Every structure is written in structure tokens, then in C-alpha cells.
Amino acid sequence: MENLDVFMAQIGPMAPVGIGVVVFLVFILWLRAERRRAKAASRISDLSEIAEKLMATQNELGGRLQQTQTGLNERLDGLNKRLGDSFAEQTEKTGETLKDLHSRLAVIDRAQQKITDLSQQVVGLQDILSNKQARGAFGEIQLQDIVVGALPPSAYDFQVTLGNGSRVDCLLKLPNPPGSIALDAKFPLESYRALRNAADDAEKVQASRAFSADVIRHVKAISEKYVIPGETAESALMFLPSEAVYAELHANFGNVIEESYRRRVWIVSPTTLMATLNTVRAVLKDARMREQAGVIQTEVLTLLDDVERLDKRVGRLNQHFDQTAEDIRQIRISTDKVIKRAERIDEIQLGEETPAADLAAGDLPPPAQSLENN
């Protein structure tokens, strides 16, 4: 108030005008303040609505968050269960795989042991083949195994001494023709190895000549020792225990094959020998069938003689039957006559009152004829 009085004293005579101005200014200020309060109230109302909406949204978001959390927990539980089942299944499969792997490793160990044993056997075989006498024994044993497995015991003999004093490894006993066939094992391994190990063309040519000469020498020896006219067949067999040597011979040494043909010595390998022995078995079977056919033919001829004798005896027996039937017919005729005469006698009535003259008059039947006439 003191400030107002001071103010009024200062404005003096201009007081009414100043008061009006002041009042107007105060009114303006109050109007602005009211407007500000109205705007503030409106903003507060808007803020309240926004706050309510925010609360509703927060509640809604809380519900959705709860649902999402529940679904997420369920999914996590399902995922954990699937992961647990998958882990158990994978563990089981891993266990089975490990067992299978263990079994396979055991098989591999056994195979490795077999390979080791086989390598030792190969080394032993190389030692055998490096010795000439042992190599010959190896060929003879292989030859015996093939022959024994393909033919019956009666079709062969081993280590047979022929008429010229030569001893053949095997003699195939076939009927004539062709006769017994000599089968001898030869193994030119040293010259074959020299041929395979030749370093240049010069060594290869020299080794080829040595290999060819070695095989031809064996062919000549078999042809001269084991082909004996009148005792063996006109040809013989030379057995090579190696398919590789046989293939090399037929692939690159045609002159040697032609020489063996000329000397009638057939070179065979284990495979071709088996095929040849199958042919020999067929020949033996055919010969046995021919022998049996001759025996059967002889028996059939003898049987025909027996049938002819039987037919004659049946004919004589039939004559006896015919005579017996005729005798029986004659006996029946005589029997019928006797029966008729007996009936006639039975019809005659003999009594005390019958006169003798009646009897003499012909009541009796005529005298019976002798049965000998009938």
C-alpha cells in the first residue's frame, strides 16, 4: 500500500488516467494469466489422458509380456526336451558307432594279421621258387592237386616209369585212341625273371632269346622222353605252374608255340590244364559208356536167347494143355453116357408081379456098350 501511495503521489494530477491505464494493464495481465491457467489446465488434462493411456498401454504390454514370457518358457521347455532327446539319441548312435568302429577295427586287426602271415608266406614262396629243386617240387605238387581234383583215381598215375626208362610226373590213362598221355611240369622261372627285369632293349633281347631257348629245350625233352609209339599217345602235355609265364609265352613268343605244335607238345597253364582235364574226363565217360553199351548189348543178345527158349517151352506147355483139354472133353462125353444109362436103368420098375415075358419083351434097355469105345 505504501508503494501504491507513493506511486499515486508521484503521478499527481495524472492519477485518474494512470489508474485507468494501470487497471487496464492489470486486466490484461489477469486475462493473460487466466489464459495461461486455462492452457495449463488443458495441458494437465491432456497429460492425465496421456498418463491414463500410458498406464493402459503399460498394463496391456505387461499382459502381452506375461503371455510372451509364458510362451517363451513353454518353447524353451520343448526345446530343452527335444535337445535332451536328440542328445540321448545322438549319444546312443555314437555308442553304436563306436561299437561298430571297434568291431571294424578288430576285423582290420585280423586282416592285418592275415596280411602279415600272407607276406611271410610270400617270402617263403619266393625262397622256394629261388631254389630249382624246390621250384620243381612246387610245380609237381600243384600239378597233382589239379589232377586229383579233376579226375577219378583210376584215370591217372604219378611218377610213372615208361618203357624207355624215363619217369614222367603224371600219366593220364585214356583208352585207345589216343592212349595214355604224358603230363610233365616245367617252370622256367629264372629266364622269365631275367626277361621281366631287363633294364634296356639289349638286355631284353638277350633275355628273350634265353627264355625262348629254355622253353624249347623243355619241349624237346618232353617230346623225346614221353612220346613213345605203342605205349603213349602221339602227343604230350607240358604244365607251366604260372599263368604269367603262360601269358607271356603266348603273347610274345609265337615261334616257341609253333615249335611245341610241331613236336606235338601242348603247353598248358593251371587254368587251361583244368579245361583239358575236363575234356579228358568227358572222353573217359564216353569210353565207359561205350564199354557199358557193349556189355548191355551182350546181355540183350543173351536175353533174346532166353526168350526164344522160353517161347519154345511155352509152346510145348500149350500143346500139353491142348491134349489135356481134349482128354477132359472125352471124359465128359463118357461121363454123360454113363449118367444117361444110369437114368434109364433107374426108370425100369422091377416088381414081383412083373411077368418074365415082359422082361424078355424088351422092357430092359439095350446092352450097354463098352466105355472103351467111347
Task: Chunk the chain into consecutive blocks of 10 residues (it has 374) and report each block's average pLDDT, rounded to whole numbers.
Answer: 54 58 75 78 78 81 80 81 80 82 80 68 47 60 86 88 89 84 85 83 88 90 89 89 87 90 91 87 78 72 80 82 85 85 73 49 48 46
Task: Supply the angle between the helices 270-347 and 243-252 in degrees, to the nearest 10.
Answer: 110
Looking at residue 117, what is its pLDDT? 66
pLDDT in the model for residue 368: 46
- Domain residue ranges in the chain: 86-130, 134-291
pLDDT score at 138: 66
Which helix H or strand E contains 136, and what residues bound it? helix 132-150
Q: CA-CA distance, 153 to 219, in Å (whole number)? A: 27
> Distances from the Cα of 224 to the Cαs of 139, 167, 181, 186, 284, in angstroms?
21, 12, 14, 15, 26
Asked whether 157 and 173 are in contact (CB, 8 A), the reply is yes
- Quote the pLDDT of residue 262: 92
Q: What is the pLDDT of residue 28?
A: 82
Tell me the whole-structure pTM to 2 decimals: 0.45
CATH for 134-291 (3.30.930, 1.10.10, 1.20.1530, 3.40.1350): 3.40.1350
pLDDT for res 187: 79
Comparing CA positions, the residue from 231, 215, 230, 208 lying closest to residue 263 is 215
